[in-house]
Chain A
Amino acid sequence: MGDVAFHTATTVAEALTLVGDGSDARVVAGGSDLMVGVRSGKSPLPGTVVAIHRIAELHGLGVVAGELRIAALASHAEICADADVCSGWTALADASALVGSHATRNVGTLGGNLMNASPAMETGGPLMVLGATVTLRSAAGDRAVPIEELWTGPGRTVASPGELCTGVVVPALPAHSGSAYVRLEYRRAMEIAIVGASACVTLDESGIVTSARVALTALAPTIIRSPAAEAAILGTDGDDAALDAVAAGASADARPISDLRANEDYRRAMAGVIAKRAVAVAAQRARGESFPIPATPVFMKGSV
């Protein structure tokens, strides 16, 4: 496979030096995007591959001062098995549990998922409704990028070639909050979202929605918020009429394409169905009622 130099970095500083200006080098964590791109012929390997999987400071996740801090190399398997993520930032657990197969979740990392910038990625929508910030490091230091500003198009981010994603910070949610990610899928494993929706809602003591964020996956060139869906649920108690309005709002905000997996009309129709389900589960969790993780297979069984 070509004339490729391979380095294993053990610190972020070493990785940044090896990547240089990024013109002929790429980092690899789990390889589940890099190598698939190579094998399909879409993006040949660069002259230099810098493996970052041994960098200790990029591993791990935990709660610090109420915030969830996830290092870039945290795998989907680690994220969806984490008790704090499952209880406090549930939409992210819903998403990580759905990625690929066991093997994909073992090698696939949060940093890789975010920086690959697919509009169909699982973790981006949950992190958007949870208000996450992404840390990018370069030789000049760290910068914090609100996740809504990270992506500029399919496969494109604001990161410069000399920057490396080192992790994500997710703020604590107020009391009486809940979140969920729901995906429309044709099969249980090795699936890519046909459409997806994430929701995070906060209720007051009487169960009225005081804050709502809804994000749409695989429904625009990047993951986007749906202001119309958010407006539809705000100030309501999440009744059927409000959920129907969420569905209409999400379909209106969606900007889908037609491709092999679904056509534009179907995606637009399903945007509403899936967004409504995501908001309903988020509200249920906000009320303290349990709902299985991941939320998606439960819908496949037709229980909601």
Chain B
Amino acid sequence: MKHAVTLRVNGMDYPVELEGGTPLVRALRDHVGLMGTKEGCDDCECGACMVLVDDKPVNSCTYLALQTVGSEVTTVEGLADGDTLSALQSAFLDQGGVQCGYCTPGMLVSAHALLRRSPDPTEEEVRLALGGNLCRCTGYQKIASAVMQAAKG
């Protein structure tokens, strides 16, 4: 059964028609057309699909898209200001916090949420906040360093 709804993503309204069981990651990629959010394990484990729903990190592979009607969704595309990268995104480049890049959107979204709630975190807080994000290139040290650099501004 198709449900005609409006999703609000990165401050824009997107009219879409979704099946009742559509996970948010599929709605974002297939219907909204934003490809930054990645589908990794598809089992709520790896965090590649991390987005913000009303400013809170959520695994979009296991959250129903229709549950976000009436909420604000923020994806990795919403972190930059046009072509200007956020301080966090620039820090990932500076520190080499990217290897294959597949986990990077989820890492950025989780780290962005951390810095909003805790602007001056310890490295342990950074590692805990990224606990739900797996990097199979195992580049964790550079990712943690990037978040610390962004926090120090």
Residues of A participating in the B interface, judged by any CB pair closer than 8 Å: 1-6, 8, 28, 30-32, 35-36, 38-40, 45, 48-49, 51, 53-54, 77, 100-104, 106-107, 188-190
Residue on B with the closest CB to A44?
B21
Q: Are A49 and B21 in touch, CB under 8 angstroms? A: yes
Among B1, B67, B110, find the residue whose CB has the most chain A CB atoms closer than 10 A. B67
In the complex, which residues of chain A have a beta carbon less than 8 angstroms from the beta carbon of B58?
103, 106-107
- Over the window 118-131 of chain B, the binary record of Cβ atoms lying under 8 Å from chain A Cβ atoms (1 yes, 0 no) is 00000000001101
Mark out the residues of chain B between 85 and 136 whose CB falls within 8 Å of any chain A CB in the assembled complex: 110, 113, 128-129, 131-133
Q: Which of B22, B42, B56, B66 contacts A39 (CB 8 A)?
A: B42
In the assembled complex, the Cα of A106 lies from the Cα of B58 at a distance in Å of 7
Q: Are B43 and A40 in touch, CB under 8 angstroms? A: yes
30 A–B contacts from the bound complex (CB under 8 Å): A1-B21, A1-B23, A3-B1, A4-B19, A6-B66, A31-B64, A31-B67, A32-B62, A35-B63, A35-B64, A36-B43, A36-B44, A39-B61, A45-B20, A48-B20, A49-B21, A49-B64, A51-B66, A54-B70, A100-B132, A101-B131, A102-B129, A103-B50, A103-B132, A107-B63, A188-B131, A189-B128, A189-B131, A190-B45, A190-B131
In the assembled complex, the Cα of A40 lies from the Cα of B43 at a distance in Å of 7
Q: Are B21 and A45 in touch, CB under 8 angstroms? A: yes
A1-B19, A6-B64, A31-B67 as given contacts; A104 in contact with B132, CB under 8 Å = yes
In the complex, which residues of chain B have a beta carbon less than 8 angstroms from the beta carbon of A35?
23, 44, 61-64
Residue on B with the closest CB to A108?
B44
Does any Cβ of A come within 8 Å of B59's Cβ? Answer: yes
In the assembled complex, the Cα of A223 lies from the Cα of B145 at a distance in Å of 41
In the complex, which residues of chain A have a beta carbon less than 8 angstroms from the beta carbon of B50?
103
In the complex, which residues of chain B have a beta carbon less than 8 angstroms from the beta carbon of A54?
70
Q: Are B21 and A31 in touch, CB under 8 angstroms? A: no
5 additional A-B residue pairs with CB within 8 Å, beyond A2-B19, A101-B57, A103-B59: A35-B61, A48-B20, A100-B44, A107-B63, A190-B132
Q: Are B110 and A32 in touch, CB under 8 angstroms? A: no
Nearest first, the 9 A-B pairs at minimum CB distance are: A101-B132, A189-B131, A4-B20, A6-B20, A1-B21, A35-B62, A4-B21, A106-B56, A103-B57
Mark out the residues of chain B between 70 and 88 whose CB falls within 8 Å of any chain A CB in the assembled complex: 70
Residue on A with the closest CB to B124?
A297
Residue on A with the closest CB to B3?
A6
In the complex, which residues of chain A have a beta carbon less than 8 angstroms from the beta carbon of B43?
36, 39-40
The smallest beta-carbon distance between B39 and chain A, in angstroms, is: 10
Does any Cβ of A come within 8 Å of B36's Cβ? Answer: no
